[in-house]
Structure 1
Amino acid sequence: MKILITGGAGFIGSHLAEKCLSAGHEVTILDNLSTGSLDNLTPSLTAYPDRLRFIQGSVEDKALVSSLVAQHDTVYHLASVVGVKRVLAEPLTTVLEGLRGTDHVLTAAAQFQRPTLLASTSEVYGRALDYLDPEGMMRLSETSPLLLGSPEKHRWVYAIVKLAKEALAISYHRQMGAPFVIVRFFNTVGPRQSPAYGMVIPNLVQAALAGRPLPVYGTGQQKRSFLHVKDAVEALYLLLISPPRDPWGEIFNLGNPIEISIIELAQRIKELTNSPSPIELIPYEQSYGKGFEDMQRRTPDITKIHSWLGWSPRFTLDDILKEVIAYATLAQ
């Protein structure tokens, strides 16, 4: 099978490419390298030089996208602005690249009827659990209400754009029968994830190894859950390449439902790295600007994807942390 991965030089995309190549498929990666890196592809380029093709280009290039989609059997559309800090710094890029690029990919995929997976985000749920579940008992299912803040708060621009992409994909499916499926990623972690864009675990690990204070924003009581990238790409592969039944028009949460507070996460990283560094509580405004809004919980219900694929996370948080620490140590 010939597989096209947009954003394939990024963190998740490069791991997905490895998975597809190891299964014997041909892979083409389209990436503008704005946040991705050819270094992420070195293992695959070395192991599979005859079946991996890299094209440096943008999903905003409509003619290029259309040509590539036509040449491939299936498409993973992962290309996106990455990280809260970059979203806050480049809101216009977030909107224009996100919408135009996705429109080009989905238009071509609908025209040629190519099975396509659209990467979305748990950010679309916004602060739903904070308002609907103050006792902290619920998890977010694919049918949970979405509770976003105002677009005047730049934090929510990313979620609004992702939700618009979902609406576009669903509309193509309903009106044209396009074989599209949507995945809402929760926090996904592993080797190759850069700390440059505000990702919490790489940032905390980097600080611990360097002997700097570990930055924790707000009170640190906000909770998150973390999925190993290897678990994530296993689900992505099953959904699009070998689904037990057609997932077209469906939305799936992809994450790990086991929560941990960020302050506890920082403490665990200190323990695993034997770091003497203190944990430093930092007001959100100091890093993200005045009026920044965060959610206290964002925990997935993965019942649907488990029932469809039999998929569940295999890696524990400690597995993830130890692997990220080992990777960061080698990179020093």
Structure 2
Amino acid sequence: MHDTQWKEIAGRTVLVTGGAGLIGSRITSHLRQIGAQPVALCTLDAYPRHTYRDLFGVDASDPGVIIGDIQDTALVKKAVADADYVIHAAALADVAACTREPMSAIHNNITGTQVLLDAVAACQRIRRLVYVSSASVYGNGNPDDWARPCDEFRTVRALLESVYGRVPPQFHEHAPLRPMSVYANTKAWGETQAALTLGAVRISFTIVRYFSVYGDPQVVKENSHSWVVAWFATRAALGLPLHLNGGGHQIRDLVHVDDIAEATVRALIAPRAHNETINIGTGTPTSIRKVAELVAARYPGTRMVDTPMPPGDPLGGYAATRRMEAVLDWRPTITVEEGVARYADWLRRTPGAILGWLRSQSNAASA
């Protein structure tokens, strides 16, 4: 990206909803590094308050932090009125929690999104909104995509089956959406609604579909099956077995949170990202079992146990990255091997990242 494009955002105010979470805090940090003025709007209720301070580096007393709910119309209007750009990352992003409590998903991910979109649509000052979506909108993809009778596809199919045991689909931005969970359904709705609401008033927007985000300082949530690297590393550190849901044959495209932050900020200012939908992934398929093996290599003696597949958990696939590379003039730099090693090293240096409720499980298992 040209220096003039980075300079364009210097000194500008960027409202980041969900800006105190793992991804949001990395985005705000990156924005500061390039001279922007990020403002984080977040409820600070997804984790204990000390987690935000000690792990995510978020100080609730910082004037750049607004504690509040994305559904608060007056609060959101005021925050948007003072901004030049908006990154909408606030969501109930836990697939299991959305499945258990669909009304919470609707309130947070649909009502909250509409409140924000209405505020942005009424504020002609906003130069662009980036809507954070998810690869979960693709579901399991279209199996017919791999049924084409040509030698090239037969060769690729045979290679993928030999490596992964099945054919993991590659997800292209133009593919039909097939959400399989409440969470995915809310994200698919948000994509369409962003285009409808902002397109009508000619405010620039970009939709970024994150693939599987991981990396320190990610910490696990109770009763969740998301964030597989954090789950596996934390359980291995406590001597607990790694649960391979469905045998660990699901495919994920694991993208380090540092790369996610870089891509999101680029999407905010890249000229070619205007009204685009972009995958943010590495283009490399990795099985859940492979992640477990990488983690186990860092913790000798770790056991693996096959467990049932939870509802709403797709078999998955990996990102087509050509559009991302062309539009953002960029591609991710951190491999999954490097990222897992970095996470395990960080976890050893940061024992406070293993929360009390999980330590209790470990103590009960060893009693």
TM-score, with structure 2 as normaliser: 0.80
Match of 1:324 in 2: 343
Structure 1 residues 293 and 233: alpha-carbon distance in aligned structure 2, compared to 1, 3 A threshold:
closer
Residue in structure 2 matching 1:193, options 214, 218, 224: 218
Match of 2:266 in 1: 238
Contact kept in structure 2, 1:188 and 1:255, CA below 8 Å = no
Q: Secondary structure at the match of 1:212?
A: coil
Match of 2:17 in 1: 6
Structure 1 residues 45 and 186: alpha-carbon distance in aligned structure 2, compared to 1, 3 A threshold:
closer
Contact kept in structure 2, 1:9 and 1:41, CA below 8 Å = no
Residue in structure 1 matching 2:196, options 171, 177, 180: 171
Deviation for aligned residue 1:185: 0.7
Q: Do structure 1's residue 282 and structure 2's residue 307 form an aligned pair? A: yes
Structure 1 residues 92 and 322: alpha-carbon distance in aligned structure 2, compared to 1, 3 A threshold:
same
Deviation for aligned residue 1:138: 4.4
Q: Secondary structure at the match of 2:248?
A: coil
Q: State the distance in 1 between where 2:58 and 2:42 align.
A: 15
Q: Secondary structure at the match of 2:179?
A: coil
Match of 2:333 in 1: 314
Residue in structure 2 matching 1:251, options 274, 277, 281: 277
Q: Secondary structure at the match of 1:128?
A: coil
Q: How big is the alpha-carbon RMSD for the aligned residues of Structure 1 and Structure 2?
A: 2.0
Deviation for aligned residue 1:108: 1.0
Q: Do structure 1's residue 88 and structure 2's residue 107 form an aligned pair? A: no
Q: Secondary structure at the match of 2:64?
A: strand
Q: State the distance in 1 between where 2:294 and 2:144 align.
A: 29
Q: Structure 2: which amino acid aligns with 1:157?
A: V
Gaps (5+ residues) in structure 2? Answer: 1-11, 148-156, 158-166, 352-367
Structure 1 residues 185 and 301: alpha-carbon distance in aligned structure 2, compared to 1, 3 A threshold:
same
Deviation per CA, 1:113-168: give whole Å up to 9, x if none. 3111111111111121445437426411110122234xxxxxx2111111111111
Q: Do structure 1's residue 140 and structure 2's residue 186 form an aligned pair? A: no
Q: Secondary structure at the match of 1:327?
A: helix
Deviation for aligned residue 1:73: 0.9
Match of 1:99 in 2: 110
Q: Do structure 1's residue 70 and structure 2's residue 81 form an aligned pair? A: yes
Contact kept in structure 1, 2:242 and 2:303, CA below 8 Å = yes
Deviation for aligned residue 1:230: 0.9
Contact kept in structure 2, 1:5 and 1:28, CA below 8 Å = yes
Match of 1:153 in 2: none
Contact kept in structure 2, 1:129 and 1:297, CA below 8 Å = no
Deviation for aligned residue 1:44: 5.2
Match of 1:152 in 2: none
Q: Do structure 1's residue 299 and structure 2's residue 325 form an aligned pair? A: no
Contact kept in structure 2, 1:98 and 1:161, CA below 8 Å = yes
Q: State the distance in 1 between where 2:206 and 2:331 align.
A: 19
Deviation for aligned residue 1:19: 0.5
Residue in structure 1 matching 2:206, options 163, 168, 181: 181
Deviation for aligned residue 1:326: 1.7
Q: State the distance in 1 between where 2:313 and 2:100 align.
A: 17
Contact kept in structure 2, 1:222 and 1:262, CA below 8 Å = yes
Contact kept in structure 1, 2:242 and 2:292, CA below 8 Å = yes
Q: Secondary structure at the match of 2:273?
A: coil
Q: State the distance in 2 between where 1:255 and 1:126 align.
A: 16
- Radius of gyration: which is bigger? 2
Match of 1:33 in 2: 44
Task: Provide the aligned length of Structure 1 versus Structure 2.
Answer: 314
Q: State the distance in 1 between where 2:24 and 2:43 align.
A: 13
Residue in structure 2 matching 1:263, options 289, 314, 337: 289
Structure 1 residues 109 and 295: alpha-carbon distance in aligned structure 2, compared to 1, 3 A threshold:
same
1:40-51 alignment, distance < 5 Å? 40=52
Q: Secondary structure at the match of 1:112?
A: coil
Q: Hey, which bits of structure 1, 4+ residues long, moved more than 6 A?
A: none
Quick check: 118-127 or 20-29, which moved more? 20-29
Contact kept in structure 2, 1:14 and 1:40, CA below 8 Å = no
Contact kept in structure 2, 1:110 and 1:179, CA below 8 Å = no
Q: Structure 1: which amino acid aligns with 2:122?
A: Q
Q: Structure 1: which amino acid aligns with 2:25?
A: S
Q: State the distance in 1 between where 2:46 and 2:134 align.
A: 17
Q: State the distance in 1 between where 2:205 and 2:218 align.
A: 27
Deviation for aligned residue 1:109: 1.0
Q: Secondary structure at the match of 1:94?
A: helix
Contact kept in structure 2, 1:129 and 1:298, CA below 8 Å = no
Deviation for aligned residue 1:293: 4.5
Match of 1:208 in 2: 236
Q: State the distance in 1 between where 2:168 and 2:179 align.
A: 20
Quick check: 97-106 or 138-147, which moved more? 138-147
Q: Structure 2: which amino acid aligns with 1:146?
A: L
Q: State the distance in 2 between where 1:64 and 1:166 align.
A: 23
Q: State the distance in 1 between where 2:179 and 2:108 align.
A: 21
Q: State the distance in 1 between where 2:325 and 2:209 align.
A: 14
Quick check: 219-228 or 298-307, which moved more? 219-228
